[in-house]
Amino acid sequence: MTRRFESGKGPSQRQLKVGELVRRALSDALMRGDVHEPGLMGASITVSEVRMTPDLRTATAFVMPLGGRRIEETLAALTRAKGELRHAVTRAVNLKYAPDLAFRLDESFDRMDEVRRMMSQPAVKRDLSPERETDEDDV
């Protein structure tokens, strides 16, 4: 079976909608402290995105602990609490099957910082300046 992400078509509207519902359910459960996992007690975790497989049976949640600290411990605690979190998602989202949950570190924050750093370099600023565009038009 070919997954939509791998075929270049991207996720369907249904996958996007269910992914957002699951993201909200996970965020709410973590915010309320519905999970009894000691590694998650008092932890502030951002659930930035949830990607669903085409059959909606697997949800991959992209997470980041506050401040980017204790990443490995947080991912391990989320994996241990997967059953409780899956139950919370099942109560909040009406699906035929309760999706299996997987947790991955959200690296988009690091990529954004890298892009900001690159864009602040003098050579890049010079290349993007409006004066340079008008100079090239004259050639």
- Radius of gyration for the chain, computed over Cα atoms and rounded to the nearest angstrom: 20
- For residue 117, the Cα-to-chain-centroid distance in whole angstroms is 22
Distance CA 67, CA 44 (A): 9
Closest CA to 22 of 48, 55, 54: 48
Q: Domain limits of the chain?
A: 4-106, 107-139
Residue pair 96/130 in contact by the 8 Å Cβ criterion: no
Distance CA 7, CA 61 (A): 21
Q: Which fold has domain 4-106?
A: GMP Synthetase; Chain A, domain 3 (3.30.300)
DSSP letter, residue 8: T
pLDDT, one tens digit for every residue, the chain (139 residues): 444 445 567 889 999 999 999 999 999 999 998 889 998 888 899 999 999 999 999 999 999 988 777 889 999 999 999 999 999 999 999 988 999 999 999 887 666 666 677 777 777 777 777 765 554 555 5
pTM: 0.72
